[in-house]
Amino acid sequence: MSDFDPIALGTRAQAMIEMLASISADREKLTRLYLTPEHRRAADLVADWMRSAGLTVRMDAAATMHGCRPASREGARSSRRLLIGSHIDSVIDAGKYDGTVGVVAGILAAEELQARGIELPFGLEILAFGDEEGVRFPKTLIGSSTVAGTFEESVLNMTDSAGETVRNALLHFGCDPAVLRSEGLQNADIVGFLEVHIEQGPLLERWNEPLGVVTAIAAQSRHRVRITGEAGHAGTVPMAIRHDAVAAAAEFIAMVEEVARNGVKNNLMATVGEISALPGAVNVIAKEAHLSLDIRASSDEARAQAAETIRGRSRQIGARRGVVIGIETVHQKPVAVCAPRFRKALASAIEAVTSRKAPELISGAGHDGLAMAHLTDIGMIFVRCRGGISHSPFEHVAIADLGLAVETLIRAIVEIAREEAA
């Protein structure tokens, strides 16, 4: 394998990441939600890069961009391919690197393999998913679930905050929702799925390591919480007889935090990240509060147990305050364990590139791999990010680390090809 220059590779990656970062709904901050005009522009840019890298491009019915390169001559009749990718949607007021690093790394790896004349016994398919964050609609991982063949029809009727359904948003984007269920790939055709992603946590930086191998992605669930109380006049209804939905929400939130703090050994995390009140006026006791709830843990049992505890404690809060607390589950994924053969290939690639033993870590953040694990084996590496900061405009990755990540991906692909041939 040729020598490589991490700064040169990283500089190419950084330039592409900056171009994607300039595509936003907001001039002041980076916001690129699923099936928006910004998503469209980002997808078009990615398609251009894919074509320049010699890949054949198609967009599927969930707006995922696929850039394909066939197997080399001796494997030409094989339809088997290695999937590599990540996402191009973002949270609101996002950083530049979450998701984009994996898409850019995949395209650069395909380009470099071509430029270095490296032949592979399987094809490559680079994927740019549009809905890893799940910020616009209550559902998440719509793109990767579609590729994995697990997309649920009922999701089409879910709405965003403006009342637009997933179905209509797809139609406006130029996708055909009627064929979503048949877009799933076949396991027999797929070698596996690899993803490069920023760590979004502090461990690699603390260990002074640029890259790490992910062992598993934590179990997660998302819920919509509706608290129904009784509206009233803020100046006349005595405090003792109120059924205040916002006050109940405050107690609910504090309870959720306490439950999660008691589950540290299972990496239990529970978060209420959104809240709104109805009717939402300064002098009206709220009749309704709407909240989001996100629960994660390193085991399915710990996550399910926490969800059960939260439901039980909610019933107590509701009974005491005379309000009804309804909790609806809108998304649930078990732990996705990374395949030992990919962990091995990625670790040996990291070791070849950094001359250091590859550290291992679990991902608390959700990734497209959660959905892709239903289709095929998954493998993932994390790239160090400054201060462990993510989902923030202060997200930052060093150029050299980007270069090391792209080179690691290239070498892991070659290693997997060697294993396949053995």
Binder of ligand GLV out of 133, 160, 195, 251 (CB under 6 A): 133
Angle at 186 between CA 151 and CA 47, to 5 degrees: 75
Q: Between β-strands 324-333 and 219-228, what pairing exists: parallel, antiparallel or unpaired?
A: antiparallel
Residue 106 interacts with, from Mn ion, ligand GLV, none (CB under 5-8 Å by kind): none
Interface with ligand GLV includes 35 (CB under 6 A)?
no
Q: How far apart are CA 164 and CA 150, in angstroms?
A: 23
Rounded least distance, CB 318 to ligand GLV, Å: 27
Residue 366 interacts with, from ligand GLV, Mn ion, none (CB under 5-8 Å by kind): ligand GLV
Going by C-alpha positions, the residue among 86, 93, 84, 97 that lies closest to residue 20 is 97
Give, as ranges, the residues between 299 and 328 that touch ligand GLV (CB under 6 A): none
Give, as ranges, the residues between 207 and 226 that touch ligand GLV (CB under 6 A): none
Rounded least distance, CB 95 to ligand GLV, Å: 11
Whether 125 contacts 68, CB under 8 Å = yes
Interface with ligand GLV includes 366 (CB under 6 A)?
yes
Residue 368 interacts with, from ligand GLV, Mn ion, none (CB under 5-8 Å by kind): none
Residue with Cβ nearer Mn ion (17 or 249): 17
Adjacent-strand bridge partners of 233:
284
Rounded least distance, CB 43 to ligand GLV, Å: 19
Rounded least distance, CB 130 to ligand GLV, Å: 13
Interface with ligand GLV includes 365 (CB under 6 A)?
yes
Applying CB under 5 A, which residues contact Mn ion?
98-99
Rounded least distance, CB 360 to ligand GLV, Å: 19
SS3 label, residue 263: coil
Going by C-alpha positions, the residue among 367, 373, 296, 303 that lies closest to residue 134 is 367
Residue with Cβ nearer ligand GLV (333 or 384): 333
Residue with Cβ nearer ligand GLV (133 or 407): 133
Residue count at the site for ligand GLV (CB under 6 A)?
3
Interface with ligand GLV includes 368 (CB under 6 A)?
no
Q: For the stretch 153-178, what's the b/e string if a residue is b when 16 or more beta carbons lie within 10 angstroms of its beta carbon?
A: eebbebebeeeebbbebbeebebebe
Amino acid at 8: A
Residue 99 interacts with, from Mn ion, ligand GLV, none (CB under 5-8 Å by kind): Mn ion
Residue with Cβ nearer ligand GLV (78 or 292): 292
Residue with Cβ nearer ligand GLV (318 or 366): 366
Lookup: tokens for 184? 């799933």
Rounded least distance, CB 42 to ligand GLV, Å: 17
Residue with Cβ nearer ligand GLV (20 or 248): 20
Q: How far apart are CA 77 and CA 79, in angstroms?
A: 6
Whether 124 contacts 113, CB under 8 Å = yes
Angle at 249 between CA 245 and CA 252, to 5 degrees: 135
The radius of gyration of the chain from alpha carbons, rounded to an integer in Å, stands at: 23
Rounded least distance, CB 216 to ligand GLV, Å: 14
Sign of CA dihedral 166, 369, 352, 383: positive
Going by C-alpha positions, the residue among 62, 68, 84, 65 that lies closest to residue 146 is 62
Rounded least distance, CB 98 to Mn ion, Å: 4
Residue 177 interacts with, from Mn ion, ligand GLV, none (CB under 5-8 Å by kind): none
Q: Give contact residues for ligand GLV (rule: CB under 6 A).
A: 133, 365-366
